[in-house]
């Protein structure tokens, strides 16, 4: 039996619930009722349970741009910044049904306000707010660099008490268990109380992580660290959706559209072999050469920013379980890190990256670009459908290459 048929048989018992269609038709009827209310204007939408996609277009207020001292302290760290410990829930339960957790230590660094004002001047924008149903969702400030790395601060406030929403004090970025298993990607760990960020239109995407600043029964303050990617055109705006729940069944979405600031400039560093590192005050983006044989399958155990004064910032794991970058993402072989501190690119001497890459090689040992290692094979009959497939090119063998890169200006 083929590998494909075995997996098909193993997954075959998964079926949608019997009442799926019935529920969908009920949703359709509710949707018709909402449309009717909109048309007649006899009532407010709040009297009807509606799907999460309902966006309330309400009063949106633009904030004035002001001093950013507090903003920089929130984003990068104030004088009290240091190590904090969190229990990160894992997607795993023990035999007694208790969710397993892992202790994570996050590390912050106090921001140098003078440097922040100098390197990010002009790249911070004021936010906006939306108020509905006694709840105000506000983005206070946003900062971005043109390597796509940035952050924003937001609050959700309700004088009469916030809707019953789950609040977490977790913070996480891109890190590994000691057995090499990464647990950051693809939202496998749901990010609680965080807004969703979208680039309007069909453009790029945003990867984000939230760090809670404070939470009371009437107000939540938090920071979103983000990396924009996937589109070469710099976006003009960012859509921010806040989801608030009133009946613990369906959340309502409150949407803000933020005009983006002029991005902070990136300093491009290069290393032998066609590797590129785009450095901004907020983070680093490493791009492999176009003909790289590794795809995404490369990594660095040691990524160090060397400063001109001789000091260092070790971006990845400084010690086991310590997270000293805010966000790490991988997309098409491009890796991004959002720093946990402000880095003045002018004060950077070099960046070193030591790790390894896994790819394929020809019989003569020549590396094969990853996208040329896989070829289409004869269509295969699966069930009653002919399907195309891809296989590793014949004659190729796996290779593991040590990477020892030094990026300089």
Partner 1 sequence: MLSKERFTAAAQKYMDMIFRLAFSYLKSREDADDATQNVLFALYKTDKAFESAEHMKAWLIRVTVNECKKILRSPWRRRGEPLEDYENTLRFEQPQDRELYAAVMALDGKYRAVIVLYYYEGYSIRETAQLLGVPPATVGTRLARARQQLKFTLTEAERL
Q: Which residues bind partner 1 (CB under 8 A)?
A: 3-4, 6-17, 20-21, 23-24, 27-28, 31, 51-52, 91, 93, 97, 165-166, 181, 185-188, 190-194, 196, 205, 243, 245, 248, 251, 295-297, 330-333, 370-371, 373-374, 376, 380, 382-383, 385, 387-390
Q: Kindly state the smallest distance separating residue 407's Cβ from partner 1, in Å.
A: 22
Identify which of residues 201 and 332 has a Cβ nearer to partner 1 in the complex: 332
The beta strand positions in 99-201, using DSSP E, are: 99-107, 124-132, 135-144, 149-157, 196-198
Residue placing its CB nearer to partner 1 in the complex, 15 or 309:
15
Helix and strand numbers (H, E) in the chain are 5, 25
CB of 225 to partner 1, least distance (A): 15
What's the closest the beta carbon of residue 97 comes to partner 1, in angstroms?
6
φ and ψ of 256, to 5 deg? -120, 140
Instruction: CB nearer to partner 1: give 91 or 236.
Output: 91
First to last CA, the chain: 55
Distance CA 145, CA 265 (A): 6
The answer to whether the beta carbons of residues 124 and 141 sit under 8 Å apart is yes
64 vs 290, beta carbon nearer partner 1: 290
Write down the least CB distance from residue 24 to partner 1, Å. 5
Neighbours of 353 (CB within 10 A): 24
Smallest separation (angstroms) from partner 1 to the CB of 389 = 5
The least distance separating partner 1 from the CB of residue 64, rounded to whole angstroms, comes to 31
Nearest to partner 1 of 315, 373 (CB atom): 373
Shortest Cβ 405–partner 1 spacing (Å): 19
Tokens of 17: 């619930």
Q: How far is the CB of 352 from partner 1 (least distance, A)?
A: 25
Residue 373: its H or E element: helix 370-373
Question: Buried b vs exposed e over 203-214: b needs ≥16 C-beta within 10 Å?
Answer: ebbbbbbbbbee
Please report how close the Cβ of residue 5 comes to partner 1 at its closest, in angstroms: 9
Number of other residues whose CB lies within 10 A of the CB of residue 409: 13
Instruction: Name the helix (H) or strand (E) containing 322.
Output: strand 322-323
- Find out whether 203 and 231 touch, Cβ atoms under 8 Å: yes
Using CA atoms, how far apart are residues 31 and 45, in angstroms rounded to an integer? Answer: 11
CB 230 within 8 A of CB 238: no
For partner 1, give the closer residue by CB, 181 or 233: 181
- Residue placing its CB nearer to partner 1 in the complex, 18 or 160: 18
Closest CA to 76 of 103, 113, 128, 114: 113
Is 16 or 64 the residue whose CB approaches partner 1 more closely? 16
How is residue 308 written in tokens?
């001109």
Pick from 355, 275, 346, 274: nearest CA to 315: 355
Whole-number Å distance between alpha carbons of 152 and 169: 17
Supply angle C-alpha 200, 202, 203, rounded to 5: 75
Cβ proximity to partner 1: between 188 and 272 the closer is 188
Of the pair 84, 168, the CB lying nearest partner 1 is at 168
CB of 406 vs partner 1, minimal distance in Å: 25
Hey, which bits of 46-148 come out as E strands? 55-56, 60-62, 83-93, 99-107, 124-132, 135-144
CB nearer to partner 1: give 125 or 338: 338
Question: Smallest distance, Å, CB 14 to partner 1?
Answer: 5
């Amino acid at each position: 039996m083929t590998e494909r048929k075995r997996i098909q048989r193993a997954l075959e018992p998964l079926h949608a619930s019997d009442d799926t269609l019935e529920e969908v038709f009920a949703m359709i009827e509710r949707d018709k009722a909402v449309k009717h209310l909109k048309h007649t204007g006899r009532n407010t939408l709040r009297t009807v349970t509606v799907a999460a996609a309902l966006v309330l277009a309400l009063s949106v207020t633009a904030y004035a741009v002001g001093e950013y001292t507090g903003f920089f302290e929130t984003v990068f760290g104030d004088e009290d910044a240091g190590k904090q410990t969190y229990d990160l829930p894992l997607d795993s339960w023990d035999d007694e049904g208790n969710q397993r957790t892992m202790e994570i230590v996050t590390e912050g660094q106090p921001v140098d306000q003078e440097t922040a004002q100098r390197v990010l001047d002009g790249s911070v924008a004021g936010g906006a707010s939306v108020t509905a149903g006694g709840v105000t969702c506000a983005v206070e400030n946003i900062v971005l660099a043109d390597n796509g790395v940035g952050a924003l601060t937001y609050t959700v406030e309700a004088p009469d008490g916030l809707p019953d929403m789950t609040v977490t004090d977790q913070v996480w970025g891109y890190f590994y268990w000691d057995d090499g298993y990464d647990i950051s990607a693809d939202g496998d760990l749901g990010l609680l109380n965080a807004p969703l960020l979208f680039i309007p239109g069909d453009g790029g995407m945003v990867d984000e992580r939230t760090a809670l600043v404070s939470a009371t029964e009437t107000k939540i303050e938090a920071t979103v660290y983000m990396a924009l990617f996937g589109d070469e055109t710099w976006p003009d705006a960012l859509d921010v959706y806040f989801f608030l729940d009133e009946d613990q069944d369906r959340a309502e979405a409150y949407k803000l559209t933020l005009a983006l600031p002029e991005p902070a400039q990136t300093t491009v560093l290069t290393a032998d072999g066609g590797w590129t590192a785009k450095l901004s005050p907020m983070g680093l983006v490493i791009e492999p050469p176009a003909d790289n044989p590794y795809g995404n399958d490369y990594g660095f155990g040691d990524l160090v920013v060397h400063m001109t004064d001789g000091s260092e910032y070790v971006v990845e794991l400084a010690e086991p379980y310590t997270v000293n970058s805010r966000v790490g993402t991988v997309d098409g072989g491009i890796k991004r890190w959002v720093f946990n501190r402000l880095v003045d690119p002018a004060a950077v001497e070099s960046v070193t990256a030591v790790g390894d890459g896994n790819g394929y090689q020809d019989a003569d040992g020549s590396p094969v670009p990853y996208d040329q290692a896989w070829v289409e094979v004869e269509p295969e009959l699966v069930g009653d459908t002919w399907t195309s497939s891809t296989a590793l090119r014949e004659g190729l063998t796996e290779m593991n290459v040590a990477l020892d890169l030094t990026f300089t200006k």
